Amino acid sequence: MKKLLAGAAIALTAMTGSSFADGHANYPERPIMMMVSYGAGGATDFQARIVTMTAGNEDALGMPIAILNKPGAGGRVGWNWLAGQAEADGYTLGAYNIPHFIAQSIKGGVDYSRDSFEPIANWGADPAVLVVGADSEFNSMEDVVAFAKENPGKLTTSGAGLFVGHHIAALQMEKACECKMAYIPTKGGGAAAMKAVIAGDVMAGINNLSDAFRAREAGNVKILGVADLERNDFLPDVPTMMEAGLDVDNSSVNFRGVMVPKGTPKGIIDKLAATVPTMFENSRVTGKMKAGGSPMHIMTRDEVLAMWEQREQTLKELLAGL
Amino acid sequence: MEFLYYFGDVFTPINFGLLLLGTIGGLILGATPGLSPTMAVALLIPFTFQLQAAQGLILLGAAYTSTVAGGAVSAILLKIPGAPANIATTLDGHTMAQKGEGAKALQLSFLASAIGGVFGVLLLIFLTPVLAQWALAFGPSHLFWLAILGVTVIGSLDSKSVVKGLLSGCIGLWLATIGFDDIMGAQRFIFHPALGGGINIIAALIGLFAIPQVITMFAKGRKGDGAEVLTVQKHPISSAFRELFRNKRALSIGTAIGSIIGLIPGVGGQIAGLVAYDQSKKFSPEREKFGTGHPEGVIAAESANNAMVGPSLVPLLTLSIPGSPTAAVLLGGLLIHGIFPGTDLFDNHPDVAWTFINSMLIGQVLMCIFGLYVAGLAAKVAQVPQSVMAAVVLGLAVFGSYSVQSSMGDVYVMASLGVMMYFLERFGFSAAPLVLGLILGPIAEANFIQGSMIANATDGLGPYFLGGTLNIFLISVVIASILYSAYMELRKRRYTSKEEILG
């Protein structure tokens, strides 16, 4: 009996050993969970559900990905959970939003930083845009900047909260035009910020390109500028802020993608990093994303690592004075 | 009248099948504590990926309608409001169930829901452009005054003493400050990671209402043999109809308030039921019967929370702004098929838009029929022995609060708030004002901060918060509400002895 047990133990060690050696060839063996740190129905949740819907296909992971929402405190609750409590076994993924979680970790009060997570791949990039009501007197970025220069601190501008892409874009605009705006963070995310613009509660707003595009289709807003390096395919007629003479780069672009907690086995990370970008490229996924007005931007693990590092650099400089 | 043209589409075999599925499934999900309408709709979203746009929306619309009504089942039978919309239903509904009138309470609640709901959807059909303007009229200053109006209700809601009502309202307001402040990003009263996101309203609801009851049941079980069997009176549906139309005042107050408040983005759904309950109490000649199992209370609360369903979709369908979390999930259901709410929806996809709206109309009626059918059976829950009942309710409470966001933290919050409420109830405090404080606190605070930021950048605090017709109207309603409560309190005192006040 003892011999048998010892044999079994040796076999077991050999098996686990081999599975490490071959880089988790059998992963995944059961369904995977992906944590989204915003509520059901938000843009991140909506996109996460679309890009993971083909995970069960044989050419992708072969196992479905289930979405788990852990909303609260602008995403801090979910990311705290992923960094501190989630098991790093490859069966718990998380969705990230850049610049949100890096900006929050720079401001402090959270249990995570850039080093707490390992990126897998990026699926989307939603630039911040400047919107005004359909009947606003502003017709171009120049009008808005001229008003802000003449009336320092009077240009009320809504956005989805503090230390999110919208806030970063507002800070960059203020720095570029050497003027002062009145940034009004709203509770209730981008939808509430957009409502404030349409209802005329504020003079202008910074919002997600995808939501602004929809509001413009409905005839409610004018979009005056995009805070990105290039014009966007959804809005070929809207100039970038650079074109309008404002030195605003793509630091505020809301990048969305998949990451895992630090400590996840290297073999699993490699396998995910190889499979997940091709999963995003599936024509069903890209078709649904385009139909929903969500701009896609697929990046591999190495590209995301570089992007995270560069973003942290810029944000540290930008937030230093606050 | 365009909507009549698309009525046929609702009755194709697949569409009608989905409508039935959504309605029955919604009733069951709604009756499960912790599964709020938002969660029920979110659970169904993956299924709509495989369906056509109109079919997917029929499923979601039917589920939304019937989960709101289904929440009344657990509110009446178990005193666990499934969502904030059902809080007011517990006040009279559960007392009726305890008196053996559970069947009657359920029948009344489904009938009132259907009438309120149909009215709300008709508003959505005929008055959408007008209503959209009204939804936009409420800026931060108006929402702040609206929340203050809600605060004035706290004292008189379900308490024997105004002071105790106000005190528990204050506890609720304080609890609402816990967590990360969304606007400023500051951390407040976070002593445990479970509180980082603030107190989840669904978990709090379950704890505050269900746990004191569970403890009381266990305590009783130790004293007696626990086999205290209630008689459940049968109640014919025809007399429920008669009862409903005898209470036309509560029905119309509930429907009107639900439709108006339901429109306001971000606020409506949560407080429509409570405000309607309070108003019909103030207008009723039998106001002292409220809280003791009075049918008017159930009718007002339930007609209000279903009347809210139709108007709450107005900002989404016309302006493409989701006014509530549930509307946000429905937006996802539209976007997945490449349909943008707003002009695109009504001009280019009228079949989708009108089939969706029509299916909600028919869904209200189906929900009522199924609801009435099960009411008699469901009311038998009251006959379950107390010891068994306590265990079942405790299990549901843990399950419900865990399932909100798959977090044990919410279960701890639920349990500790529940135990606290048990002791507070022994001292004559009650849960409804506390929850109202918890709901109104964040609305008042966020809108005050936001309003004052806008005001400081523009014309100053005074003119911003006190100027404008709508502000002045809301302020005068606030003052009238306070004066009325004070007058009623003074009049009552003249007839109460000192012992009663102290007790």
Amino acid identity of residue B304, one-letter, is: A
Question: Three-state secondary structure along chain A?
Answer: CHHHHHHHHHHHHHHHHHHHHCCCCCCCCCCEEEEECCCCCCHHHHHHHHHCCCCCCCCCCCCCEEEEECCCHHHHHHHHHHHHCCCCCCCEEEEEEECHHHHHHHHCCCCCCHHHEEEEEEEEEECEEEEEECCCCCCCHHHHHHHHHHCCCCCEEEECCCCCHHHHHHHHHHHHHCCCCEEEECCCHHHHHHHHHHHCCCCEEEEEHHHHHHHHHCCCEEEEEECCCCCECCECCCCECCCCCCCCCCCCCEEEEEEEECCCCHHHHHHHHHHHHHHHHCHHHHHHHHHCCCCEEEECHHHHHHHHHHHHHHHHHHHCCC
Cα–Cα nearest to B352, from B2, B38, B17 = B2
Q: Are residues A79 and A150 in the same domain?
A: no
- Are residue A201 and residue A112 in the same domain, yes or no? no
Please, which residues 64-83 of chain A have a Cβ atom closer than 8 Å to chain B?
68-74, 76-77, 80-81
Number of CB pairs, chain A paired with chain B, less than 8 A apart: 176
Would residue A174 count as lying in a domain? yes
pLDDT at B191 over 90: no
Residue B250 clears pLDDT 70, i.e. is over it: yes
Coil, helix or strand for B188? strand
| Containing structural domain, residue A93 | 29-126+253-319
Q: Indicate the pLDDT class of residue B1, thresholds 50, 70 and 90.
A: low
Give the residue-averaged pLDDT of B369-378: 85
Range among A53-57, A155-159, B479-483, B499-503 rated most confident: A155-159
A236 falls within a domain: no
pLDDT value at B503 more than 70: no
Torsion of CA B141, B144, B150, B154, to 10 degrees: -140
A108 touches chain B (CB under 8 A): no
How many angstroms separate the CA of residue A121 from the nearest CA in chain B? 22
A192 and A136 together in one domain:
yes
Q: Which of residues 150-179 of A touch B (CB under 8 A)?
A: 153-156, 161-163
What tens digit of pLDDT does each residue of A137-153 get? Answer: 999 999 999 999 999 99
Query: pLDDT value at position A318?
Result: 87
Q: Are residues A112 and A142 in the same domain?
A: no
Q: Are residues A138 and A201 in the same domain?
A: yes
DSSP letter for B157, please.
S
Q: Which residue has the higher pLDDT, A224 or B191?
A: A224
Could you tell me if A97 lies within 8 Å of chain B, comparing CB atoms? no
Please enumerate in sequence order all residues whose Cβ is within 8 A of that of B319, keeping only pairs 6 or more positions apart, or say none: A195, A198, A215, A218, A220, B132, B135, B136, B341, B342
User: Among candidates B215, B359, B275, B280, which has minimal Cα distance to B85?
Assistant: B275
Q: What is the pLDDT of residue B3?
A: 78
Q: Cβ contacts (< 8 Å) between B314 and chain A: which residues?
A: none
Q: Would you list the DSSP string of B349-370?
A: -HHHHHHHHHHHHHHHHHHHHH
| In chain A, residues 260-299 whose CB comes closer than 8 Å to chain B | 288, 290-294
Looking at A207, A226, A245, the residue that finishes a domain is A226
Q: What is the CATH number of the domain that holds A162?
A: 3.40.190.10
Q: Do A217 and A269 fall within a single domain?
A: no
Q: Å from B137 to nearest chain A CA?
A: 7
- A84 and A111 share one domain: yes
Of the partner residues B137, B338, B457, the one whose CB lies closest to the CB of residue A291: B338
Residue B434 DSSP SS3: helix
Render the burial of B281-306: b for 16+ CB within 10 Å, e for the rest. Answer: bbebeeeeebbebbbbbbbbbbbbbb
**Mean pLDDT throughout A54-79?**
87
Q: Indicate if A221 and A295 belong to the same structural domain.
A: no
Nearest residue, CB atoms, B185 vs list A107, A154, A192 = A107
What is the domain count for chain A?
2
Strand-pair partners of A94:
A35, A259
**Lookup: tokens for A320:** 């230093």
Q: Do A216 and A303 have their domain in common?
A: no
Q: Buried b vs exposed e over B311-331: b needs ≥16 C-beta within 10 Å?
A: bbbbbbbbbbbbbbbbbbbbb
Same domain, A85 and A150: no
Within 8 A of B315 by CB-CB distance, chain A residues are 195
**Nearest Cβ partner for B196 among A76, A201, A215:** A76
Give the nearest partner residue to B197 out of A73, A107, A217, using CB atoms.
A73
* Token reading at B258: 């639900």
Question: Where does residue B227 rank: exposed (0-12), middle (13-18), buried (19+ CB within 10 A)?
Answer: exposed
Does B323 score more than 60 pLDDT?
yes
DSSP symbol at B180:
E
pLDDT tier for residue B195 given thresholds of 50, 70 and 90:
confident
- Is A303 part of any domain? yes
Mutate to test the interface with A, among B49, B321, B336 (most CBs of A within 10 A): B321
CATH assignment at residue A50 = 3.40.190.150
Which pair of structure tokens corresponds to residue B456? Answer: 């400081």
Is the predicted pLDDT of residue B383 greater than 90, yes or no? no
Q: What is the DSSP string of B50-61?
A: TS-HHHHHHHHH
Judgement on whether residues A208 and A170 belong to the same structural domain of the protein: yes
Q: What are the structural domain ranges in chain B? A: 2-494
pLDDT band at A235 (very low <50, low <70, confident <90, very high): very high
Closest CA to B1 of B244, B311, B354, B326: B354
Across the beta sheet with A156-159, what order do the strands follow?
A182-185, A156-159, A204-208, A128-133, A221-226
Q: Over range A31-51, report the average pLDDT.
A: 88
Q: What is the mean pLDDT of chain A?
A: 88
pLDDT at B81: 84
User: What's the pLDDT score for residue B230?
Assistant: 59
Task: Determine, yes or no, domain membership for A23.
Answer: no
pLDDT score, position B141: 92
Q: Give me the mean pLDDT over the B212-223 stretch.
A: 80
Q: What pLDDT digit, counting tens, does each position of B228-242 carry? A: 455 677 788 888 888
